[in-house]
Amino acid sequence: MSEISFDDFLRVDIRVGKVIRAEPYPEARKPAIKMWIDFGDEIGERKTSAQVTAHYDPEALIGKQVMAVVNFPPRQIGRFMSEVLVLGLPDENGEIVLIGPDTQVPVGGRMH
């Protein structure tokens, strides 16, 4: 594991957003879901795709609060432009479980 400085950590902008739209992404190489996430007035709506189909259906993601890195450059994922990186952890089978607050918080809040 390589070390980073605290200043490096502060450059990563991790915010909470609320999923406002989600749909299957069957064109992806691995099963994925497209998500549109509201990060509040300062950042607005951003989109992403994530390989989270083992634990989530698109309909169940609507309204869910998730954590995401919002200051990476956009990345082309197949024919879809991903604007943020949602954060998750692998379960015992390596399937991703999304990270989010356990209590509702205002969208756009930055992780401290």
8 A C-beta contact, residue 17 and residue 107: yes
Each residue's pLDDT expressed in tens, for the chain with a length of 112 residues: 899 999 999 999 999 999 999 999 988 889 999 999 999 999 999 999 999 999 999 999 999 999 999 999 999 988 899 999 999 999 999 999 999 999 999 999 999 8
Pick from 112, 14, 36, 41: which is nearest to 80 by CA?
A: 36
- Tell me the CA end-to-end span of the chain in Å, nearest whole number: 22
Burial 44-57 (b: 16+ CB within 10 A, else e): eebebbbbbbeebe
Burial (0-12, 13-18, 19+ Cβ within 10 Å), 110: exposed
Q: Say which residues have a Cβ less than 8 Å from residue 71's Cβ, sequence separation at least 6.
A: 11, 12, 13
Which fold is adopted by the domain 13-98? OB fold (Dihydrolipoamide Acetyltransferase, E2P) (2.40.50)
| Alpha-carbon separation of residue 104 from 18, 66, 112 (angstroms) | 10, 10, 16
**pTM of the predicted protein model:** 0.94
